[in-house]
């Protein structure tokens, strides 16, 4: 709902031969938009290959997932082409066969072998995709999440692997293989924090997904109620739901509704009870947990600086880095950038920053006893 402009813009841009970078904070509907655009574009002219990157933990797994989604005839052409090359060991080609790859698990040794020979494998995939009768478009969802997994959970991987993956994707775009990448609002900050060139994102048209307005959030709730033949959700009920969830994130509204639907009616008091006992704990488990996880990866000094920065902004609603440094001259700018990259903070007017969501700000206040 309420993404008609973005949907038409994405489809038109892709049909004109462009590639996209769909941006927004998590749970705002980026993946849903990507899936809907893919559904609408699937016809005799376009072949959409969708890959959910958040399930990948090793560099080669991303490309294994792409191979898994290739139609059988394209996969057979790829295997035949790889066999014709002299430089790739047969053990790798044997592992990359149509019968075994569907359930294939990538161990560390195989991952390294694929990375060692990724140049010719990548060129082979590129050649097969370009020579197909249909226009093939790669839809890669949750790419930044994959990069975070790569660097945080795999001691054998570094920023170099992230750079290599982005360079391969850019090379494919340069050869006119189209793609739509779905990622965090702050992927640029993430690359900066890892000293990875943003030029690797060149050739991508950004599409920003915003939060719903309060009116759109209410209409979503009414539409969900109508889909379940519920007639007791009135304006007063919807307004209370919007107030309780604190932010017009589609996922928050859907989560609340999933508990409301179990009731025959809801008073204001009942809504507050549902939110406190069911909705907020679920949002904490499925959304807010990531902020604790990110902070846990900070060094001791970074964590101390992060506390000062977040405390200051929580008390003042918005602030610039210069405002914070007036009383805390030892605070480092890199920690400030890290908090932006990790989606704690978002830019406002006059070079000020605020919490990305009210629910995150209030969670921090409770956490810190402010």
Say which CATH number the domain at 315 has: 1.10.10.10
Is 165 in the same domain as 143? yes
pLDDT given for residue 101 in this prediction = 53
> Rounded to whole angstroms, how far apart are CA atoms 317 and 320?
11
Is 72 in the same domain as 188? yes
Give the side-chain half-sphere CA count within 13 A for 77: 14
Is 164 in the same domain as 202? yes
Q: Which residue has the higher pLDDT, 157 or 62?
A: 62
pLDDT given for residue 67 in this prediction = 80
Is 133 in the same domain as 9? yes
Give the chain's mean pLDDT. 86
CATH number of 167's domain:
3.40.50.300
Stretch among 97-106, 140-149, 274-283 having the lowest mean pLDDT = 97-106
Stretch among 173-182, 189-198, 273-282, 288-297 having the lowest mean pLDDT = 189-198
Per residue in 97-127, pLDDT (tens digit) is: 655 555 555 566 667 777 777 888 888 888 8
Last residue of a domain, one of 177, 208, 239: 208
Is 253 in the same domain as 328? no
User: Which of these, 366, 364, 23, 358, lies nearest to 181 by C-alpha position?
Assistant: 23
- 157-166, 174-183, 300-309: which is most confident: 300-309
Q: For strands 353-355 and 345-347, give the pairing.
A: antiparallel
> Rounded to whole angstroms, how far apart are CA atoms 112 and 135?
31
Judge whether 41 and 180 are in contact, CB under 8 Å: no
What is the mean predicted confidence (pLDDT) over 231-260? 93
Q: Which residue has the higher pLDDT, 103 or 215?
A: 215
What is the mean predicted confidence (pLDDT) over 142-163? 78
Tokens matching residue 36: 């809907």
pLDDT given for residue 100 in this prediction = 52
pLDDT given for residue 162 in this prediction = 85
Instruction: Please give the model's pTM, rounded to 2 decimal places.
Output: 0.82
H/E run at residue 34: helix 30-41
Last residue of a domain, one of 190, 208, 226: 208
Is 222 in the same domain as 248? yes
User: Which of these, 222, 225, 248, 251, lies nearest to 235 by C-alpha position?
Assistant: 222
List the beta bridge partners of residue 237: none
Residues 6+ apart with CB under 8 A from 164: 59, 115, 118
Is 58 in the same domain as 81? yes
pLDDT given for residue 151 in this prediction = 78
pLDDT given for residue 153 in this prediction = 65
> Rounded to whole angstroms, how far apart are CA atoms 265 and 217?
20
Is 120 in the same domain as 244? no
- pLDDT at residue 341 greater than cutoff 90: no
Tokens matching residue 13: 């841009």
Is 277 in the same domain as 341? no
What count of other Cβ atoms lies within 10 Å of the Cβ of residue 327? Answer: 9
What is the mean predicted confidence (pLDDT) over 8-37? 91
Residues 6+ apart with CB under 8 A from 318: 348, 352, 353, 354
User: What is the domain extent for residue 242?
Assistant: 214-291
What is the mean predicted confidence (pLDDT) over 238-262? 93
Judge whether 304 and 289 are in contact, CB under 8 Å: no
Stretch among 118-127, 165-174, 282-291, 303-312 having the lowest mean pLDDT = 118-127
- 167-171, 192-196, 303-307: which is most confident: 303-307
Is 94 in the same domain as 174? yes
pLDDT given for residue 271 in this prediction = 93
pLDDT given for residue 259 in this prediction = 94
> Rounded to whole angstroms, how far apart are CA atoms 140 and 56?
11
Judge whether 129 and 177 are in contact, CB under 8 Å: yes
Q: Which residue has the higher pLDDT, 308 or 45?
A: 308
Is 160 in the same domain as 179? yes
Judge whether 56 and 149 are in contact, CB under 8 Å: yes
What is the mean predicted confidence (pLDDT) over 31-50? 88
**Tally of domains within the chain:** 3
pLDDT given for residue 107 in this prediction = 61
Confidence of residue 60 (pLDDT cuts 50, 70, 90): confident
Is 132 in the same domain as 278? no
pLDDT given for residue 119 in this prediction = 81
The DSSP-derived string for 142-154 is -HHHHHHHHHHH-
């Amino acid at each position: 709902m309420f993404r008609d402009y973005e949907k038409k813009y994405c489809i038109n841009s892709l049909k004109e031969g462009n590639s996209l970078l769909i941006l927004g904070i998590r749970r705002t509907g980026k993946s849903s938009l990507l899936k809907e655009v893919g559904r609408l574009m699937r016809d005799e002219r376009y072949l959409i290959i969708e890959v959910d990157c958040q399930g990948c933990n090793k560099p080669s797994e991303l490309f294994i997932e792409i191979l898994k989604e290739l139609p059988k005839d394209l996969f057979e052409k790829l295997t035949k082409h790889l066999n014709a090359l002299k430089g790739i060991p047969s053990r790798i080609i044997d592992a990359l066969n149509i019968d075994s790859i569907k359930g294939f698990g990538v161990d560390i040794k195989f991952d390294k072998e694929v990375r060692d020979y990724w140049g010719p494998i990548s060129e082979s995939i590129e050649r097969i995709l370009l020579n197909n009768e249909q226009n093939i478009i790669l839809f890669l969802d949750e790419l930044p999440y994959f990069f975070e997994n790569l660097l945080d959970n795999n001691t054998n991987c570094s920023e170099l692997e992230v750079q290599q993956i982005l360079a391969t994707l850019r090379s494919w775009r340069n050869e006119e293989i189209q793609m739509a990448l779905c990622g965090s609002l702050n992927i640029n900050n993430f690359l900066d924090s890892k000293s990875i060139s943003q030029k690797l994102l060149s050739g991508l048209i950004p599409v920003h997904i915003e939060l719903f307005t309060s009116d759109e959030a209410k209409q979503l709730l009414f539409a969900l109620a109508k889909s379940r033949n519920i007639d007791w959700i009135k304006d007063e009920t919807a307004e209370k739901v919007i107030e309780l969830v604190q932010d017009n994130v589609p996922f928050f509204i859907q989560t609340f509704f999933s508990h409301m639907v179990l009731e025959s009616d809801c008073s204001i008091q009942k809504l507050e009870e549902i939110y406190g006992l069911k909705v907020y704990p679920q949002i904490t488990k499925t959304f807010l947990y990531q902020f604790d996880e990110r902070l846990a990866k900070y060094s001791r000094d970074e964590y101390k600086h992060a506390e000062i920065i977040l405390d200051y902004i929580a008390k003042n609603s918005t602030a610039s880095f210069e405002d914070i440094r007036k009383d805390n001259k030892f605070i480092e700018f890199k920690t400030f950038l890290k908090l932006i990259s990790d989606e704690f903070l978002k830019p406002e007017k006059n070079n000020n920053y605020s919490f990305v969501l009210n629910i995150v700000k209030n969670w921090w206040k409770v956490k810190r006893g402010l």
